[in-house]
């Protein structure tokens, strides 16, 4: 059990997740690319989890599930920043066009 936890901690330390403040420094296009990449990683991990469930050691699919959850949480954070950036851009465009909405 401790060995599996060690693998998860190793994965978390090798995968640098940017803070919300760091994400605000990226443009909308870059955030979109990050979203697509993480969605692909989640899909890949889901397939890997299925294989572990069928053929892996006991508990190995739970490790993959934990990694998927971390990725989904991070994805939601990036989507929140992306949505904020898009809304901010729309507000600026509306302001420049003289619209109040």
Residue carrying the six token digits 């003289």: 98
Four-residue CA torsion sign, 53, 44, 78, 20: positive
pLDDT at 87 over 50: yes
Asked if the structure places residue 4 within a domain, the reply is: no
Domain that holds residue 56: 25-96
7 pLDDT more than 70: no
Q: Examine residue 86 and state whether it is found in any structural domain, yes or no.
A: yes
Average pLDDT over all residues of the chain: 84
Residue 1's pLDDT is what? Answer: 47
Q: What's the number of domains the chain is made of? A: 1
**Helix axis angle, 28-55 to 60-97, nearest 10°:** 160
- The sign of the torsion formed by the CA atoms of 30, 64, 52, 10 equals positive
CA atoms of 69 and 75, how far apart (whole Å):
10
Q: What is the mean pLDDT of residues 22-28?
A: 95
| Predicted model pTM | 0.76
Within-domain flag for 77:
yes
* Spatial contact of 68 and 90, defined as CB atoms under 8 Å apart: no
pLDDT of residue 6: 64
Chain segment 30-47, per-residue pLDDT in tens? 999 999 999 999 998 888
Least-confidence region, from 9-13, 23-27, 34-38, 78-82: 9-13
From CA 8, how far away is CA 60, in angstroms rounded?
Answer: 11
Please report the pLDDT score of residue 24 as a whole number. Answer: 94
């Amino acid at each position: 059990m401790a060995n599996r936890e060690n693998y998860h901690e190793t994965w978390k330390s090798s995968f640098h997740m940017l803070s919300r403040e760091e994400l605000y420094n990226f443009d909308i296009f870059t955030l979109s690319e990050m979203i697509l990449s993480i969605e692909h990683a989640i899909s890949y991990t889901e397939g890997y989890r299925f294989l572990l469930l069928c053929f892996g050691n006991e508990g190995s699919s739970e490790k993959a599930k934990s990694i998927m959850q971390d990725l989904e949480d991070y994805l939601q954070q990036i989507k929140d920043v992306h949505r904020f950036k898009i809304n901010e851009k729309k507000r600026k465009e509306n302001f420049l066009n003289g619209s109040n909405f």
